[in-house]
Amino acid sequence: MRVEANSRTDSETPVPLRDCSPVESYLCPKLTRPNTRSITVMLPAAERTVVVVDDDEPMRLYLSETLTSGGYDCRSFANGATALGWLASGDEHVDLLLSDINMPGMNGLDLLRTVKTVDPSLPIILISGLCDLAMAHGALRAGATDYLLKPVRPADLLGLVSRHVDVVHSKALEAVKEALKRSLGARGASDGNQIAGLLPIFEAIGFKRFETLQHSRRVSAFTLLMARDLNFTRNARGALEIGSLLHDIGKAGIPHNVLMKPGKLNDREWTIMKLHPQLGVDLLFGLPGLERESQIVLSHHERFDGDGYPQKLAGEAIPLGARVFSIADTLDALTSDRCYRPAQSLAAARVEIHRVAGSQFDPAVLDLFDRVGDWEFEAVRKQFPDVS
């Protein structure tokens, strides 16, 4: 697989319909067939109430009718103030709020902030006709649960609402999340503040929807294996490990229907997708001592030939940790099953990675990759298998 600068990597590719793991089912239940033996689906949609707020009447009707057709009980409002008044009356239990961002008077972000002060746990999905860095920041900082870009297809709307409302639990998924929390917490013993700040991001934003948790753990372990012959300090190695674990954290700010789109992104969607490294860095900003981790997050899609993003860095201008990480990320993508193709062997993945040395990857770093034995990579895969 050649990973072009203007194409999505496997880890950015959505999951088409098939029998997927519980993790994938949790992340995108409408695109996958859940394994009913290990998943508990809560109440049926008919018992769920969704509030829709949009000043544009045709859009409001479209959203309400789509949700009603999906079995949800729907209450719709033309502005934030009326919606707030109804919510404040407390007449009905509400399971989710769906709001346009650009509305006269109280906009969607103001509505979100106000509702969150009263009910911090209510899932709130924002909808907008545009997505830029400032808007994505605003939505994330205000605590938006998710984000949809107009136009919104019925399947995207129902899939997203279902994921947040019809809670799907997997014991295996919870076990992996707990294990990750423990490992981050253990590393934080010497720097409690840093980890205290990192854990909520990790739990609430970083891994909630798009990557299998095990992928992140494997990529982190692969990166450390390759970096073992580098003269890194203990702290630098720790930063490499955590930066790798959090590499795609910024995808939390990418609209759901862009992130999970089946098929090729158009130019507008691709521009939005390419915001995620910067968004990730912005999420980590303000947490003390995460500068080196942020370098990995910002630079993980740069290419050695300068054809990557977001900064189009080339050669040694790309931080060394990010150059090591990008091989690990591709190795894991190539050696993992995807819905549209089976996993490649380690030998085939090695050939492919060598093929793009000098363009995608730093040839010098390839030496580090070659020094890691097959059995070591395989041991990592065994330690962190895809959850099934």
Nearer of residues 125 and 254 to Fe ion, judged by Cβ: 254
Q: Report yes or no: 238 and 320 within 8 Å, Cβ to Cβ.
A: no
| Residue facing Fe ion at closest CB distance | 11
* CB of residue 218 to Fe ion, shortest distance in Å: 9
CB atoms within 10 A of CB 37: 6
* CB of residue 154 to Fe ion, shortest distance in Å: 28
How far does CA 147 lie from the centroid of its chain?
Answer: 12
Geometric angle at alpha carbon 380, from 34 and 231, rounded to 5°:
135
E strands within 31-162?
A: 39-41, 49-53, 73-77, 96-100, 124-128, 146-149
d(CA 198, CA 22): 25
d(CA 321, CA 296): 6
Nearer of residues 194 and 336 to Fe ion, judged by Cβ: 336
Query: DSSP label at 138?
Result: H
Positive or negative torsion for Cα 173, 175, 178, 182: negative
* CB of residue 276 to Fe ion, shortest distance in Å: 6
Q: Report yes or no: 256 and 153 within 8 Å, Cβ to Cβ.
A: no
Task: Provide long-range contacts, Cβ within 8 A and 24+ apart, for 305-311.
Answer: 305/358, 305/359, 305/360, 307/5, 307/359, 308/5, 309/5, 309/274, 309/277, 310/274, 310/275, 310/277, 310/278
* CB of residue 1 to Fe ion, shortest distance in Å: 14
**Nearest-10 Cα torsion for 17, 23, 25, 31:** -40
In DSSP notation, 59-83 reads HHHHHHHHHHHTT-EEEEESSHHHH
User: What are residue 207's phi and psi, to 5 degrees?
Assistant: -120, 20
Nearer of residues 101 and 283 to Fe ion, judged by Cβ: 283
Nearer of residues 11 and 295 to Fe ion, judged by Cβ: 11
d(CA 220, CA 227): 11
* CB of residue 308 to Fe ion, shortest distance in Å: 11
Nearer of residues 5 and 78 to Fe ion, judged by Cβ: 5
* CB of residue 307 to Fe ion, shortest distance in Å: 15
- Can you tell me which residue has the tokens 């753990």? 217
Nearer of residues 118 and 133 to Fe ion, judged by Cβ: 133
Nearer of residues 95 and 329 to Fe ion, judged by Cβ: 329
Alpha-carbon Rg for the chain, nearest whole angstrom, is 21
Interface residues with Fe ion (CB under 5 A) are 11, 248, 329
Nearer of residues 11 and 214 to Fe ion, judged by Cβ: 11
Nearer of residues 23 and 112 to Fe ion, judged by Cβ: 23
> Hey, what amino acid is at 92?
E
* CB of residue 11 to Fe ion, shortest distance in Å: 4
* CB of residue 296 to Fe ion, shortest distance in Å: 11
Nearer of residues 1 and 157 to Fe ion, judged by Cβ: 1
* CB of residue 186 to Fe ion, shortest distance in Å: 23
* CB of residue 113 to Fe ion, shortest distance in Å: 29
User: What are residue 100's phi and psi, to 5 degrees?
Assistant: -65, 150
d(CA 366, CA 357): 7
